Amino acid sequence: MASLIDCPHCGPRPREEFSVRGDAAATRPDPEAGPEAWHAYLHLRTNPRGLHREHWRHSGGCRRWLVVERDVVTHAVHAVRDAQEGAQ
């Protein structure tokens, strides 16, 4: 059986309906930041084992951006929320 992601808008859907953008914890530097800050933001990422928050888009459904918390070792999904929740 395919892995499921529980979309808060559409309910449980197969993982193939989603596209992943990447790390949801990364903070974009100020536009005036120097090249070192932009280099670090774009290229120097940690790759931790265990739980990780990522941006996913439900491209085959509601098209909303979601924050998916999953274990990058087992690929088990632990939590899903709309990306707008808590956005500033």
pLDDT digits 0-9 by tens, 66-85: 999 999 899 899 999 999 98
pLDDT score for 88: 45
Distance from C-alpha of 74 to C-alpha of 88, rounded to nearest angstrom? 31
pLDDT digits 0-9 by tens, 29-44: 999 999 999 999 989 8
Q: Which residues of 2-21 are buried (b: 16+ CB within 10 A; e: fewer)?
A: eeebebeeeeebeeebbeee
Q: Is the pLDDT of residue 87 over 80?
A: no
Nearest Cα to Cα of residue 15 among 76, 73, 74: 76
